[in-house]
Structure 1
Amino acid sequence: MNEERFYEAVGKTNGWDFSRLRSRTEGELWDFYQLVAENAQSSAALLDIGTGGGEKVLEIAASFSAVTGIDRSKAMIETAKANLAKTDFSHVCFLEASSETLPFRESSFDYLSSRHAPFNPKEVWRVLKKGGTFYTQQVSEADKANLKEAFGRGQSFGQRDGALRDAYKRELVAAGFSEMEIREYDAAEYLERPEDLLFLLLHTPIIPNFGEQEGDFDRLQEFIGQNQTGKGIRTNSKRFLIMAKK
């Protein structure tokens, strides 16, 4: 199952409620959506690419005059609209759309954000206003390194760490961005309980087709035993951040 089909199927079944996941991260250098909100003007319009269930962007929606969230998954947008219905926001909307070709006019937004979602740099440049900023946080190849090593497979397993970061930098420059800042962190992540790790594996594509290969659950038990600490089951969270101004 490819990544898009995975998210569609799991999102429809589970509603993408990660609130039950009990984990902690030590060494995280920023909170992505708070960073976007802290640097925003209240009169600004924000486009969130790959918004998922919309939970994160709704947390900062009050910092903007208009917020649009898009996702290629119909199931995720249905979840986002259900979450929006629980608020009193009238300046937020969610649309099913692909980031490859954004359904907006040129210079429509003051800010664009994309957290752990693909984006098209040329389209980002096109719909961003002059002087506007694009923020993206992505998962580095070395994320969950010990987990992928234990299973001998995984998202970006065996790829050079930093390859995606470098590729996005080149593509953003080619699209027209010249003013850019890049940050990284590699933080310790602790999953409080075995069921938290299992929830993560079932709800994300970190380990492709988890549970479908013989020996997966034996490897899981072995991993838990080897990485159990007083703080929880230890792995790592590696992220990079690009801030590009038009």
Structure 2
Amino acid sequence: MTFMADHRSFEDLVAEGAAVPTEGWDFSWFEGRASEARPSWGYARSAGERLARAEAALDIQTGGGEVLDFALSRAEPDRPRLIAATEGWPPNVAKATALLRPRGAVVVAAPDDAPLPFADGVFDLVLSRHPVHPHWEEIARVLRPGGTYFAQHVGPASVFELVEYFLGPQPEAVRSGRDPERERAAAQAAGLEVVDLRAERLRMEFHDIAAVVHFLRKVVWMVPGFTVEAYEPRLRALHERIEKEGPFVTHSARHLFDVRKPSH
């Protein structure tokens, strides 16, 4: 894909990035102005294959439901008899409900850090794409014996070139958070078997400052409390850098979990 530099003024680009709605996990607005390499395992496609074999499925922290909707479209006509999803942010709950209801899925409003609002052993498949924190004990509780947790997590120091541009060098404890091996140990401590765990770092590029502004508004935990006003000098300097040197390059971290609850 060829990207054309956008030479509008700093003020115009920032205003655009600040105006784009942030609900859901649809990243199509970034097309042509930011890019991210995709993990080799193709999470949404693989989730669709598993949904086609499942009887009862749960998607945790579904966002606007976009990933589950795509996965269910790949599972047709063999979608599960029971499909549920949880989401904690009210605008996303409404968006996910509208998107997933035609697929036969029920969206339940539930805080990300609360116990899952389901009985024990309901689901033979639990999915999640980029959960804030995996609550392994709850995942183990709602899975049937022999059931699977299949998820793509954000890994350590993800997009930290961008984070540290705005916040400065981060402590090692912050950089090493979301470590896949620690998560493996936590899953095993909850009585789950880790069948497969893969990790990749992937190139990301931001081609204009509007994309940076929209990304930091959308993925709010990257630079907590981000506003254009608070970071205007750094944004302006980054705009000038992109204009002079080309895209700002950073790297995302992703890992894939395939986890099983023992049958006995």
TM-score in terms of structure 1 length: 0.80
- Contact kept, 8 Å, 1:155 with 1:208, in 2: the verdict is no
**Change beyond 3 A, Cα 1:150–1:14:** closer
| Selected match of 1:209 from 225, 246, 250 | 225
Aligned length: 231
Residue in 1 that maps onto 2:109:
96
Counterpart-to-counterpart distance in 2, 1:113 and 1:156: 31
Confirm or deny that 1:67 pairs with 2:83. Answer: yes
Decide which structure has the larger Cα Rg and report it. Answer: 2
- Contact kept, 8 Å, 1:37 with 1:60, in 2: the verdict is yes
Residue in 2 that maps onto 1:174:
189
| Selected match of 1:198 from 201, 210, 213 | 213
Confirm or deny that 1:31 pairs with 2:46. Answer: no
Counterpart-to-counterpart distance in 2, 1:178 and 1:84: 30
- Contact kept, 8 Å, 1:141 with 1:156, in 2: the verdict is no
1:59-91 CA-partner distances (Å, limit 9, x unpaired): 112422232110122222111112235xx42x2
Counterpart-to-counterpart distance in 2, 1:43 and 1:183: 23
The AA in structure 2 aligned to 1:238 is A
- Contact kept, 8 Å, 2:54 with 2:124, in 1: the verdict is no
| Selected match of 1:113 from 120, 127, 140 | 127
Does 222-231 or 52-61 show the bigger shift? 222-231
Counterpart-to-counterpart distance in 1, 2:175 and 2:250: 19
The AA in structure 2 aligned to 1:97 is A
Gaps of 5+ in 2: 1-17
Counterpart-to-counterpart distance in 2, 1:21 and 1:145: 19
**CA positional deviation for 1:93:** 1.2
TM-score in terms of structure 2 length: 0.75
Confirm or deny that 1:235 pairs with 2:256. Answer: no
Counterpart-to-counterpart distance in 2, 1:84 and 1:155: 39
Other structure's SS at 1:36 match: helix
**Change beyond 3 A, Cα 1:76–1:155:** farther
- Contact kept, 8 Å, 1:154 with 1:208, in 2: the verdict is no
**Change beyond 3 A, Cα 1:43–1:133:** closer
The AA in structure 2 aligned to 1:96 is A
Residue in 1 that maps onto 2:96:
80
1:119-175 CA-partner distances (Å, limit 9, x unpaired): 321111111122221022222231112112211259988624365423322221111
- Contact kept, 8 Å, 2:36 with 2:204, in 1: the verdict is yes
- Contact kept, 8 Å, 2:154 with 2:178, in 1: the verdict is no
Does 151-160 or 186-195 show the bigger shift? 151-160
**Change beyond 3 A, Cα 1:212–1:231:** closer
**Change beyond 3 A, Cα 1:213–1:158:** farther
Counterpart-to-counterpart distance in 2, 1:144 and 1:39: 29
Identical pairs, percent: 24
